[in-house]
Amino acid sequence: MSAIPKPIHDAAAAFDTLPGVGPRAALRYAYWLASQHKDTIKHFARSIESVANGVMHCEICGLWSSTQICSICSDSKRDIGVICVVGTSQDARVIEESGAFRGTYHVLGGLLDPIGGRLPENLTISNLVKRVFNPQKLVREVILAVDPDVSGDMTAHYISKQLHGSSVTISRLARGLQHGAQIEYADGTTISDALGNRRDLSLS
């Protein structure tokens, strides 16, 4: 019979599902949580529950938001003519923290990975195409802020082809991000440099 009480075992199993957390660390977290005051534990649980009940995708850009339209899309000071395309909301957060971008975003929900089963129909590429080809022609530029790796290259190429024929400039983050790097872990200076030196991918 296990010496670990079932509630601690179940909590450890939940922690073990988190990225970068192994079984040992998960069990350590569970024991730490059990040692806290009951009010602290209940507050922790309510915080997790609020994520399930209070967070949704912005109807326009797909960013995680507590409202149907996120604070960025509803900000009249943002440049709606420039869309920064990112794989995840975390990528957008890093770019926002750099302070180098004042346009809007479009979250793909990941990057293309046919081997892993992530195909164009699994992403929000079709929604991006609709935003760009809007009859009002509000969009001037699409910045592909995707990771500089195989999946990022594949995604950038596919989107460029889908936007072929539009009048928008298609660019991609440039110098500052090494091949194989992930935007989520880049610092503000690197992101600012990559934005400032983005290269044109528009198809002729």
Residues 157-168 have pLDDT tens digits of 999 999 998 989
Residue 10 lies in a domain: yes
* pLDDT level of residue 1 (50, 70, 90 thresholds): very low
Largest Cα separation within the chain, whole Å, is 69
- Going 154 to 158 to 161 to 163, the CA torsion angle's sign is negative
What backbone torsions phi and psi does residue 56 show, to the nearest 5 degrees?
-145, 170
Domain count, the chain: 2
CB atoms within 10 A of CB 50: 11
Residue 59 lies in a domain: no
Range of the domain at 18: 6-54
Examine the domain organization and report whether 171 and 71 are in the same domain.
yes
pLDDT digits (tens, 9 = 90+) for 87-118: 999 999 999 998 989 999 999 999 999 999 99
pLDDT digits (tens, 9 = 90+) for 33-80: 999 999 999 999 999 999 999 999 999 999 999 999 999 999 999 999
Mean pLDDT of 112-133: 95
Listed in order, strand segments (DSSP E) in 5-69 are 56-57, 64-65
Examine the domain organization and report whether 28 and 88 are in the same domain.
no
Examine the domain organization and report whether 30 and 128 are in the same domain.
no
Q: What's the CA gap between 112 and 125, in Å, rounded?
A: 10
Any idea what DSSP says for residue 186?
-
Do residues 97 and 188 touch, judged by C-beta distance below 8 A?
A: yes
Better pLDDT: 135 or 109: 109
CB hemisphere CA count around 116 (13 angstroms): 9
* pLDDT level of residue 2 (50, 70, 90 thresholds): low
Q: What is the pLDDT of residue 177?
A: 54
With a cut of 80, say whether residue 198 has pLDDT above it. Answer: no
CATH of the domain at 132: 3.40.1360.10
CB atoms within 10 A of CB 160: 16
Examine the domain organization and report whether 89 and 182 are in the same domain.
yes
Q: What's the CA gap between 128 and 155, in Å, rounded?
A: 13
Do residues 203 and 166 touch, judged by C-beta distance below 8 A?
A: no
- Going 169 to 175 to 95 to 144, the CA torsion angle's sign is positive
Examine the domain organization and report whether 28 and 49 are in the same domain.
yes
* pLDDT level of residue 175 (50, 70, 90 thresholds): low
Examine the domain organization and report whether 34 and 78 are in the same domain.
no
Examine the domain organization and report whether 174 and 100 are in the same domain.
yes
